[in-house]
Chain A
């Protein structure tokens, strides 16, 4: 572990001193910025870069940009479900219900897969603070909002009877921090039956307690027996476990305002419990943090297995183990990138496929689903957030911008038959 640096602390103390001395306005100019602007230099103060607002309203089916999408030959996309503003992370119940988390709109959706073309969806929870995380196990739906965790038992039975079960609140059992900044949670069960939960850094860049923040934790499903699985992870919002080795692979979003062209976002592999992935001292392929890192900042930290474009925001990712896609996709990862805001030339807004090296330690990355980003105009029409494999081997992709779920399927092109 690199030594802690005291620069930030010194700054905080001096600002507090200024305020106490009555120079409040001067202090405000330094300190009172929205969370996303933290780390922006003085010369960038008038930069137009800011996060893109997510629509909170329904996108009409005819306005969903299905015809923008491009995939490799043989693959095609269709609209599988729509009309769910802010649709993000996905989890599938044993009976086929698709549960979908959101952020700003505070809802959890359930899509009842009745096999028809027009699937019905229900709002099963609302008024929550960024209920991003959803996971399903043994008949129960787990929902993680920023400040609360719930378990809905026998959820699919209740939905089939036209009811919603009263959730069990597990917030105290998990005892997770409730910071707003990077506090939205991803949830997934590991092959060990434990529930994995990331806790992002409560900042753009700052010193953190390595046991509580910038981590991936795991718990027994009831919230007991907490373990820190990974440290130095700035903000992971997606992970999955290798179908054969069981290893945890995860995406990580790197720091803003350091550069348009860096540091890269990351795909990581956890090879050892408690491994350190660099934040806040060492980013991406080995970029030393300009404020907090010293010359040794990258010593003893694990570098990524693969990188993605800086600021491209890789979020949901899953291994592919289905039979529908060609053999080369088996045990590859699909990674949804929501797309950048902290660079003038946009990047991401796509789904990439990562193929693992022979030794299982690295991955190569290439485009799989593109077209939401128009590079000529530097505009975007959709924002992929998560991917999910269906029992038939098709791949679902959620689009937060349009509140839609696409289904990607494969048929061998005629020229190959």
Chain B
């Protein structure tokens, strides 16, 4: 369990030693996202390096952001920024972004069209994944077409390898964050079941 993350601030405050400096300072000084303070078009170019120029990721184990509900992206970015969800890649990208910057990025990606998934669906895997999704109740939060809702992400059209990665991380409790719903859902789900679910969800709506 990490210590409360305010040691860098404390050092900075001690160095400055004045209340006036305290009033002007953002919550953390040590690391600020390269995207902080840039216009949206330039911020999106930074995100594009991993998440694709149109928000459809072409990079292994990296999620697509296109078509995600705005609150999904907003909340996850705030979890990264506040170090509530541990992710070495994303926390440095999120530190120092304001709520308004995060919400503008989320609104942008929510509007981007979702690309068709790579490869043809496998009929057996689709049937097995559909059955598992029913028994796990995926649609009750992620909606009947798996397009997501509010803080609950779109699964339809997401990268299959990312879905596998995310579900395994929940099962192994390596994906932290304040919302533990998925840890409860994924407890004890086998690799074979995760593979079928990921294939089905990635191709859902095709």
Binding site for B on A (CB under 8 A): 19, 24-29, 32-36, 45-46, 50, 53, 56-58, 85, 103-107, 120, 122-130, 147-148, 150, 159-164, 166-167, 180
- CB contacts between A and B, total, < 8 Å: 118
Q: Which residues of B contact A35 (CB under 8 A)?
A: 180-181, 184
Interface pairs (29), CB distance under 8 Å: A19-B188, A25-B132, A27-B188, A28-B189, A32-B136, A34-B180, A34-B181, A45-B140, A56-B78, A56-B99, A57-B74, A57-B78, A57-B102, A58-B99, A104-B84, A123-B6, A124-B6, A125-B6, A127-B6, A128-B4, A130-B178, A162-B13, A162-B16, A162-B17, A162-B20, A162-B21, A163-B17, A164-B10, A164-B13
Are the CB atoms of A46 and B22 closer together than 8 Å?
A: no
Are the CB atoms of B178 and A104 closer together than 8 Å?
A: yes
Are the CB atoms of A45 and B137 closer together than 8 Å?
A: yes
For the A-B complex with A32-B187, A33-B184, A120-B23 known, give 13 more contacts whose Cβ atoms are closer than 8 Å.
Answer: A29-B137, A34-B185, A35-B184, A36-B181, A57-B74, A104-B84, A106-B84, A107-B82, A126-B5, A126-B83, A127-B83, A164-B6, A180-B180
Shortest beta-carbon distance from A380 to chain B in Å: 15
B18 at the interface (CB under 8 A from A): yes
Are the CB atoms of B135 and A28 closer together than 8 Å?
A: yes
Shortest beta-carbon distance from B24 to chain A in Å: 10
Shortest beta-carbon distance from B90 to chain A in Å: 15
B75 at the interface (CB under 8 A from A): yes
For B, the interface residue count at a CB cutoff of 8 angstroms equals 51
Contact of B137 among A33, A56, A105, A164 (CB under 8 A): A33
* Distance in angstroms between the alpha carbons of A258 and B184 in the assembled complex: 22
Given contacts A34-B181, A104-B178, A129-B178, contact A162 B18 (CB under 8 A): yes
Residue of A nearest to B184 (CB): A34
Q: Which residues of B contact A150 (CB under 8 A)?
A: 4
Q: Which residues of A contact B123 (CB under 8 A)?
A: none
* Distance in angstroms between the alpha carbons of A19 and B178 in the assembled complex: 28
Q: Which residues of A contact B9 (CB under 8 A)?
A: 164
* Distance in angstroms between the alpha carbons of A45 and B190 in the assembled complex: 23
Residue of B nearest to A30 (CB): B135
- 4 tightest Cβ-Cβ pairs between the two chains A and B: A127-B5, A34-B181, A57-B99, A162-B22
Chain A contact residues, majority secondary structure:
loop
Shortest beta-carbon distance from A122 to chain B in Å: 7
Are the CB atoms of B19 and A106 closer together than 8 Å?
A: no
* Distance in angstroms between the alpha carbons of A50 and B140 in the assembled complex: 10
Are the CB atoms of B178 and A106 closer together than 8 Å?
A: yes
Are the CB atoms of B178 and A122 closer together than 8 Å?
A: no
* Distance in angstroms between the alpha carbons of A57 and B71 in the assembled complex: 10
Q: Which residues of B contact A180 (CB under 8 A)?
A: 180
Q: Which residues of B contact A104 (CB under 8 A)?
A: 84, 178-179
Q: Which residues of A contact B150 (CB under 8 A)?
A: 53
Are the CB atoms of B84 and A28 closer together than 8 Å?
A: no
* Distance in angstroms between the alpha carbons of A160 and B19 in the assembled complex: 7
Contact of B19 among A36, A56, A58, A162 (CB under 8 A): A162
Residue of B nearest to A25 (CB): B135
CB contact list, B1-57 vs A, under 8 A: 1-2, 4-6, 9-10, 13-14, 16-23, 27-28
- Bits for B158-186, please: 1 = Cβ < 8 Å to A, else 0: 00000000000000000000111100111
* Distance in angstroms between the alpha carbons of A8 and B83 in the assembled complex: 37
Shortest beta-carbon distance from A71 to chain B in Å: 30
* Distance in angstroms between the alpha carbons of A85 and B135 in the assembled complex: 36
Q: Which residues of B contact A24 (CB under 8 A)?
A: 188-190, 193
B141 at the interface (CB under 8 A from A): yes
Interface centre among B4, B78, B187 (most CB of A within 10 A): B4
* Distance in angstroms between the alpha carbons of A133 and B131 in the assembled complex: 43
- Bits for B63-79, please: 1 = Cβ < 8 Å to A, else 0: 00000000100110010
Are the CB atoms of B151 and A106 closer together than 8 Å?
A: no
Residue of B nearest to A160 (CB): B19
B62 at the interface (CB under 8 A from A): no
Residue of A nearest to B26 (CB): A123
Shortest beta-carbon distance from B186 to chain A in Å: 8
B58 at the interface (CB under 8 A from A): no
Are the CB atoms of A29 and B135 closer together than 8 Å?
A: yes
Are the CB atoms of B71 and A53 closer together than 8 Å?
A: yes
Residue of A nearest to B140 (CB): A46
Residue of A nearest to B102 (CB): A57
Shortest beta-carbon distance from B100 to chain A in Å: 8
B130 at the interface (CB under 8 A from A): no
* Distance in angstroms between the alpha carbons of A103 and B16 in the assembled complex: 31
Are the CB atoms of A32 and B78 closer together than 8 Å?
A: no
Shortest beta-carbon distance from B82 to chain A in Å: 6
Q: Which residues of A contact B2 (CB under 8 A)?
A: 127
* Distance in angstroms between the alpha carbons of A125 and B132 in the assembled complex: 41
Are the CB atoms of B10 and A163 closer together than 8 Å?
A: yes
Q: Which residues of B contact A127 (CB under 8 A)?
A: 2, 4-6, 82-84
* Distance in angstroms between the alpha carbons of A29 and B138 in the assembled complex: 11
Q: Which residues of A contact B17 (CB under 8 A)?
A: 161-163
- Bits for B81-99, please: 1 = Cβ < 8 Å to A, else 0: 0111000000000000001
Q: Which residues of A contact B19 (CB under 8 A)?
A: 160-162
Contact of B78 among A25, A34, A105 (CB under 8 A): A105
Are the CB atoms of B4 and A125 closer together than 8 Å?
A: yes
Residue of B nearest to A163 (CB): B13
Given contacts A19-B188, A127-B2, A147-B1, contact A56 B75 (CB under 8 A): yes
* Distance in angstroms between the alpha carbons of A124 and B4 in the assembled complex: 10
